[in-house]
Amino acid sequence: MQSIFKGVAAGLAMTTLLAGAASAELGGDLRIFFDDQNPAPKAAIEGTVERFQAMHPDMNIELTLIDREANKTQIRNYLTANAPDINGWYAGNRMRPYVEAGLFEDVSDLWDGQLGEELASTRAAMTIDGKQWGVPYTYYQWGIYYRQDIYEELGLTPATTWEEEKANCQVILDSGRKCYTIGTRFLWTAGGWFDYLNLRTNGYDFHMALTAGEIPWTDQRVRDTFANWRELLDMGAFIDDHTAYSWQEAQPFMVNGEAAAYLMGNFVVAPMREAGLTDDQLGFYQFPEITPGIPMAEDAPTDTLHIPAQAENKENARAFLRYMASAENQGIVNETLGQLPVNRNATVPDDKFIQAGFELLSNAEGGIAQFFDRDASAEMASAGMQGFQEFMVLPDNLDAILDRLEQVRQRLNAE
């Protein structure tokens, strides 16, 4: 752990201090454990603490940074033995074990009124048993990034339906290119395809119940998802030998024009630009509808802050979470992170992909999923993603794959 902040930063302007003093209401202590030591997140949380400190100069704030991977192993220990007032974590099923163990505070009161409306896109992801258990501060969109110039050359427009997607894919294949690049050497990329196919085939509620272990993997509706996936596999839509590539190593196929699209998170944009693609060449569109009438849900991994149930300074913690979730602060934080504010009234960086993602997620009526390896338990996620990769290579193994996943689900549910 690295403790990096205590008290007012010396560099704060006096005008900021004076303006904040007028709103000072709280004193005492506030201990924050933040789960990221990387430069941009470090700067974002430091800035938030400094601005909040200026509003409450009598408060003694201690900020401790924890490596993200280390936090995953330490969180249960510190929540039970030496709980801070605020800790960093994730939305969706990743917070469920700590909610069910009584280690997170119910903060539904923060979601009442205007703030709850401003954070509405993630309400479902922050809700368990009808209550909210933290606040989100950043997320990023997934979707289909595509070679706009290739689509224009072939007379194509981004698909809005599954039939259009397959028709576009056939034209791309007929031109001598692959429809999609992907690298599945590290399995999570196949998880993105499963997420979107299942969300579009069966909807958000089904997907979340499946990842929570409540629905058998042998259910016909799961088979329907894989049937849609197989349509693309049988067409030869994906690059060859994808199991040999990481997600980064799969990028050149799109950069060089050998593949026309990539289902990926927005973090793919920067390396695509660095590789030479211009914004005139690179476009983005929402994964198309498959089953008509199912509201469109999205994958948007969401980082969150929580109040441990054993926190000693819950009033101060609630005030900090309220500020962290505010439109003003989220605009500043996500400018630093290069990601998307969850608060729909926040300012958004002047970047066409971030603007597109903000519009997409702010209007995600179907809900926000957290990505397969966050929504499922660690063991189920590992088994599932191995199965997805195997299916992409050997689709005739589907029955064996689903039987194996169902055995894992039943064993985990029995434990």
What CATH number is associated with residue 333? 3.40.190.10
In tens, the pLDDT along 144-185 reads: 999 999 999 999 999 999 999 999 999 999 999 999 999 999
DSSP for 60-127 reads EEEEEE--HHHHHHHHHHHHHHS--SEEEEESGGGTHHHHHTT-B---GGGGSTHHHHHTGGGTGGGE
Cα dist from 378 to 296, 384, 407, whole Å? 26, 10, 15
pTM of the model: 0.83
Q: Are residues 408 and 265 in the same domain?
A: yes
- Looking at the structure, do residues 387 and 286 belong to the same domain, yes or no? yes
Strands 28-34 and 86-90: parallel
- Residue 372 inside a domain? The answer is no
Q: Among 83-92, 161-170, 209-218, 360-369, which is the least confidently predicted range? A: 360-369
- 121 found inside a domain: yes
Tell me what the pLDDT averaged over the chain comes to: 92
Which of 124, 399, 148 has its CA nearest to residue 260? 148
Is residue 362 one of the residues assigned to a domain? no
Query: What per-residue confidence (pLDDT) applies to 185?
Result: 95
- For β-strands 298-299 and 368-369, DSSP reports them as parallel
Q: Is residue 224 part of a domain?
A: yes
109 inside domain: yes
Are 210 and 231 part of one and the same domain? Answer: yes
Report the domain count for the chain. 2
385 and 257 in a common domain: yes
Radius of gyration, CA atoms only, the chain: 22
Same domain (yes/no): 334, 247: no
- Mind listing the pLDDT tens digit for each residue in 69-83? 899 899 999 999 999
Measure the CA angle with vertex 104, ends 110 and 199; round to 5°.
Answer: 80
Pairing label, strands 28-34, 59-65: parallel
Domain extent at residue 12? 2-137+303-350
pLDDT digits (tens, 9 = 90+) for 282-298: 999 999 999 999 999 99
Residues 55 and 171 in one domain: no
